[in-house]
Amino acid sequence: MTGRVHSIESFGLVDGPGVRCVVFLKGCCLRCRYCHNPDTWAMDGGEEWEAETLFQKIYRFKPYWRNNGGITVSGGEALLQMDFVIELFEIAKRHGVHTALDTSGAPFRNSTEYLEKFQKLMSVTDLFILDIKEMNRERHMALTGQDNQNILELARYLSDHGKAMWIRHVLVPGITDSEEDLQALAGFLNTLKTVEKREILPYHTLGIYKWENLGLEYSLKEILSPTPQEVQRAEKIISATSE
């Protein structure tokens, strides 16, 4: 089994517990207006790796992981190359390595054929890091180009099957920071049983140059990053639990 890899980060500190080797795969079905890696959207390009060869490259960094680090596969959208991720994680688990998958959830489908494969993925994935970009369906479509219903279905499915989750939400002033939407997110998270962490990621513009290099128009140039106070406000809202 081979996969298309965009890049590898050997010392990741924010993509799961501990120090992690982060593999960024090619291909994404969303077109988020604030994406800082539009160069991962296309399925082609990058480097083609066999799962065993990639693992052996990654495994060299094991001394940095200590007791709670491991491997995180991100993107792009890692679920678009699910067969490859399954094989890579199967190898990792045979070596006792902690595995995490960073996903938008967009490719998830509630069909028998898809779920059979997805259950194999769940069996070798210790942690799912799920980005919930917007709770409101119409605003999600305006922000990403796609519906969010299957993303929410994925979160419910992971919860129902006892899989640990971290939930992330990118805070974009004037777009994803309304009290109504943040409270809706908090309410949804309170219905899930396996969320271990709720994170607010402040919007930034560090990826604009990639849009320009690709000849793409970046529509959020005028939006500033949220202030620490705005981030703290959002964190407080989404952390609120039901009585």
Specify burial of residue 70 (Cβ count, 10 A radius: 0-12, 13-18, 19+).
Answer: buried
- CA 212 to CA 208: how far, in whole Å? 6
Residue 242: pLDDT above 70?
A: no
Q: With cut-offs at 50, 70 and 90, classify the pLDDT of residue 126.
A: very high
Render pLDDT for 34-71 as a digit per residue (tens, 0 to 9). Answer: 998 999 999 998 999 999 999 999 999 999 888 889 99
DSSP one-letter code for 42? S
Number of continuous H segments (helices) and E segments (strands) in the chain: 9, 8
Torsion angle in degrees (nearest 10) through CA of 174, 176, 180, 186: -150
Backbone angles phi, psi at 25, to 5 degrees: -90, 160
Render pLDDT for 217-228 as a digit per residue (tens, 0 to 9). Answer: 999 989 999 999
Neighbour order of strands in the sheet with 70-74: 47-50, 2-12, 20-25, 70-74, 98-103, 127-131, 165-171, 195-202
Q: Give the pLDDT of residue 182.
A: 96
As a whole-number percent, the residues of the chain with pLDDT over 90 amount to 90
Render pLDDT for 190-204 as a digit per residue (tens, 0 to 9). Answer: 999 999 999 999 999
157, 108 Cβ separation under 8 angstroms: yes
91, 70 Cβ separation under 8 angstroms: no
Q: Give the pLDDT of residue 149.
A: 95
Residue 240: pLDDT above 90?
A: no
Torsion angle in degrees (nearest 10) through CA of 206, 208, 214, 218: 150
Render pLDDT for 10-37 as a digit per residue (tens, 0 to 9). Answer: 888 889 999 999 999 999 999 999 998 9
Q: Give the pLDDT of residue 238.
A: 95
Residue 243: pLDDT above 70?
A: no
